[in-house]
Amino acid sequence: MGKQFFKAWTEGCDRYGELDGDRADLYQQCVQNSGVYRPTFVASVFFAFSAIATSMNPSINREIWPQKYAAYLIGVFICMFIPNPVFTGFYLLLVRICAMLFIVIQQVILIDMAYNWNESWVEKSNECESREWGSGKKWLQAIIASSVLFYISSLVGIILLYKHFSGCGSNEFVITLTWIGIVAMTGVQLSGEEGSLLTTAVISAYSTYIAYATVSKNPNAVCNPTLGNEDIWGIAVGLTLTLISLSWCGWSFTAQERLSEGG
Amino acid sequence: MSIICFTGSIVVECVVIIRHSDLFIFCLFFLSIETTRSLTPADPNRPDASTLNLDIPFINDEDRPTTGLVMHSADDEENFNRNAGSTIWKLNIVLILISCWVAASLTGWGFISGGINSSGEHTAANPLVGKFNMAMIAVSQNVAVLLYMWTLLAPRLFPDREFA
């Protein structure tokens, strides 16, 4: 059993290097990737089945959860003994396509969230104003303060990026494009009636974070001081953003239904 | 003896791998399941263990005598199926995309390549480093900025159309 397990997880990895050879790190990385593909593959299959099931009968979504958890865990256990090529073929292609789709969806969700945040605070301000004259001002001040905070963090971020990650053309290109984008967004937003400063500020900060994520993945050691370290915080921030957009996605799906039903 | 060593090293390998990435996946999986589950209201037809009256025989719903407070309307489930339920499958599709995105971001889009130093030699590999990964994220940044610009410019360029 141990041999079978070892063979399944290392199959195809010897094309990157040997276990004790010069490129042992690449070999190890290949095995680590095998560890990522299995649970995510089972999760994709699981959600595909539940998407089909719930499209036929939505109430299935809240039933038999212990069995569903068990099915997932059993699926992961079975996949531990399936050799690598099963995952690195079609599934890897699917992963790349779906991941690109999700990045776009996540950004739509983030932009929507930023718009809604501004709207809700403006609404609160109007509500206060209708009760007592001048009391709505503090909500508007809060909007301005948050915008300034986001802009300052973007500015500091860009300065730090220039300081630590410059040295090769690709990084400087990315960072320069980032601030040009921020200036352009702010200009367009301020010159028109649409949008709000808070939304622009949030998108600017997000864009700066993405710029950091980009330059920290540069394989050239000359302009990437984080190379060789595992970027645990980068992964944590990325996954936290995913969780926020997931919750927002779920909430707005159901909230919209309930609100439109009531109103 | 060598078999024990071998299985021991596999266990260690597993611990290392789990420490690296799988914990995140498991956390995300359970959290996403909790999200879908918390969106669905409790089943009105399922008896609660603490309020279950064993003096009443287990008979069909239609034959059961009506007792207790009315907490839900009877067509709660039907309502759910018709309204919020109709979008639940879309949420499941998004969850498929998220599973794939987690796999892609943790494995550097499946491309395995090490870092290079100033003289072009191979250095320590970082699972998240690579030209392709870098390009993907850079493109996504520009898509975000352009999307937002579009939300600002679209009503100006096409004043006749409605943008919700």
- Do residue A42 and residue A108 come from a single domain? no
pLDDT of residue A254: 57
Size of interface A-B (CB pairs under 8 A): 300
* A120 domain residue, yes or no: yes
> pLDDT exceeding 70 applies to what percent of chain A?
87
Query: How close, in Å, is residue A130 to chain B by CA atoms?
Result: 26
- If asked whether residues A34 and A124 sit together in one domain, one would say no
CA B77, CA B99: separation in Å to the nearest integer? 29
CB contact A69 to B (< 8 Å): yes
Q: Please check whether residues A7 and A113 belong to one and the same domain.
A: no
So what's the pLDDT on residue A154? 93
Token representation of residue B153: 């410019």
Residue B99 confidence (pLDDT): 87
Final residue of a domain: which of A54, A83, A112?
A83
At A166, the pLDDT band (50, 70, 90 cuts) reads confident
Domain edge (last residue) among A14, A49, A83: A83
Query: Could you read off the pLDDT of A54-82 as tens digits, one per residue?
Result: 888 777 777 788 888 999 999 998 888 88
Q: How far is CA A219 from CA A34, A169, B99, B123, B132, in A?
A: 22, 13, 26, 9, 10
**Inside any domain, residue A93:** no
Q: Does residue A67 sit in the same domain as residue A154?
A: no
CB distance A202 to A223 below 8 Å: no
Mean pLDDT of all residues in A183-205: 85
pLDDT tens digits in sequence order for chain B, 164 residues long? 344 444 444 444 444 444 444 445 555 555 566 555 555 545 555 556 666 666 666 666 666 666 666 665 555 556 555 555 667 787 888 888 888 888 887 777 777 766 555 555 555 555 556 677 778 778 888 888 888 888 888 877 777 766 55
- What is the pLDDT, as a whole number, of residue A151? 93
| Contact call for B152 and A61, based on CB within 8 A | no
Window 155-214 of A, Cβ < 8 Å to B: 170, 174, 177-178, 181, 184-185, 188-189, 192, 194-195, 199-200, 203, 206-207, 210-211, 213-214
A 94-123 residues inside an 8 A Cβ radius of B: 94-105, 107-108, 110-111, 115
Q: Which is higher by pLDDT, A162 or B117?
A: A162
> Quick one: A49 and A120 in the same domain?
no
* Same domain for A48 and A78: yes
Distance (Å) from the alpha carbon of B70 to chain A's nearest alpha carbon = 21
Nearest-CA distance A132 → chain B (Å):
31
Helix axes A92-131, A232-262, angle to 10 degrees: 60
Strand ranges inside A98-235, DSSP E: none
Provide the whole-model pTM: 0.65
Cα separation, B56 vs B45, in Å, equals 15
pLDDT in tens, A139-157: 888 888 999 999 999 999 9
In a domain, A179, yes or no: yes
Taking only the tens place, the pLDDT of each residue in A95-105 is 888 888 887 78
Amino acid A249: pLDDT? 67
- CA angle centred on A83, ends A23 and B132, rounded to 5°: 50
Same domain, A59 and A137: no
| Structural domain contains residue A261 | yes
Tokens of A181: 């984008």
Specify whether A107 is located in the same domain as A33: no
The DSSP 8-state label assigned to residue B64 in this structure reads S
Mutate to test the interface with B, among A22, A61, A186, A232 (most CBs of B within 10 A): A61
Q: Are residues A194 and A219 in the same domain?
A: yes
Q: Are residues A17 and A137 in the same domain?
A: no
What pLDDT, on a 0 to 100 scale, did the predictor assign at position A109?
81
The answer on A149 and A38 residing in a single domain is no
Each residue's pLDDT tens digit, A20-31: 666 677 787 788
Structural domain contains residue A119:
yes
Sole residue written with tokens 């199926």: B81
Residue finishing a domain among A50, A83, A116:
A83
Residue B134 contacts residue A217 (beta carbons within 8 Å): yes
- Is residue A67 assigned to a domain? yes
Residue B129, C-beta contacts closer than 8 angstroms, at least 6 positions apart: A217, A218, A219, A224, A227, B108, B113, B115
Q: Which residue of A has its CA nearest to B111?
A: A30
Q: How many CA atoms lie within 13 A of A65 on its CB side?
A: 12
Domain residue limits at A75 = 1-83
Residue A158: per-residue pLDDT: 92
ipTM of the complex: 0.73
Regarding whether A136 and A43 lie in a shared domain, the answer is no
Residues of chain A contacting residue B98, judged by C-beta atoms under 8 Å apart: 102, 242, 246
How many domains would you assign to chain A? 2
